[in-house]
Amino acid sequence: MPNYCCTTLFAEHVTLKPVSSAYETELFRELTAEVARYLVFQPTGDIDDTRDFIARSRMEMDQGTAIKMVILDRVSGAFLGYINLRSVDTREPGVGIWIAKPHQGKGVGKQALRAMMTWADQNLSYDFLRYPVAAENILSRRLAESLGGVVAGTGTFRNTNGEELEEVEYRIPKGPVDRL
Ligand SMILES: CC(C)(COP(=O)(O)OP(=O)(O)OC[C@H]1O[C@@H](n2cnc3c(N)ncnc32)[C@H](O)[C@@H]1OP(=O)(O)O)[C@@H](O)C(=O)NCCC(=O)NCCS
């Protein structure tokens, strides 16, 4: 069974490393209510929830069911954000991503997602990546579309505060990222 706890990915300006307690402070501090506006998980202000999240993430990576990574500046090592691939043992893994507010809109999300897609193409057997996004999350929709994502369906989801949001699901087809 694969274990993803030691996987590190490199792109031109960013490095992706498995989530660990070394990044507890940054994961807690940078996932603000503003950044999480369109995410399922809503910050609680309790760092124990971040610790639980890290422990669960490590378990899922040990079991080979998910890969959950921090995004770091390749040169300085500064924390830039977070990206995950869930259900990697299925034909339809799902992507999630958030970038810390000061680093948004600078190409970090696109570079991290490209690195994850390249890794998926080389290491997983899948048909397409699912990229669910809140319908009004225009930046995230642009990111999905800029990497070949096409709308596959619509629906709703509920965040952890119980709010219901309209959802669009993109599918990003398998294939070399260089084609995009
Ligand atoms: C959505 C998010 C992940 C995008 O990451 P990012 O690093 O900010 O985005 P990038 O700079 O890589 O840009 C990706 C695409 O979005 C578009 N974009 C980014 N910032 C933009 C801006 N300020 N204005 C217009 N378009 C913009 C660009 O079209 C770009 O594609 P291109 O390179 O083909 O032009 C990031 O903004 C974020 O974390 N948002 C909050 C959390 C969230 O909503 N996560 C997604 C859940 S599905």
- Residue nearest atom 20 in ligand 1 by C-alpha distance: 105
Question: Which of 30, 139, 170 has most ligand 1 atoms within 8 Å of CB, for mutation?
Answer: 139
Largest Cα separation within the chain, whole Å, is: 43
Mean pLDDT of all residues belonging to the chain:
95
The pTM (predicted TM-score) of the whole model is 0.96
pLDDT digits (tens, 9 = 90+) for 1-31: 788 888 999 999 999 999 999 999 999 999 9
Task: Identify the segments of the chain with pLDDT beneath 50.
Answer: none
Q: How far apart are CA 112 and CA 97, in angstroms?
A: 9
What pLDDT does 179 receive? 65
What pLDDT does 3 receive? 84
Question: Which of 41, 133, 142 has most ligand 1 atoms within 8 Å of CB, for mutation?
Answer: 142
> 138 alpha carbon to ligand 1 midpoint, in Å?
8
Q: Which residues of 118-131 are buried (b: 16+ CB within 10 A; e: fewer)?
A: ebbeeebebebbbb
> 98 alpha carbon to ligand 1 midpoint, in Å?
9
CATH class given for the domain over 9-127: alpha beta
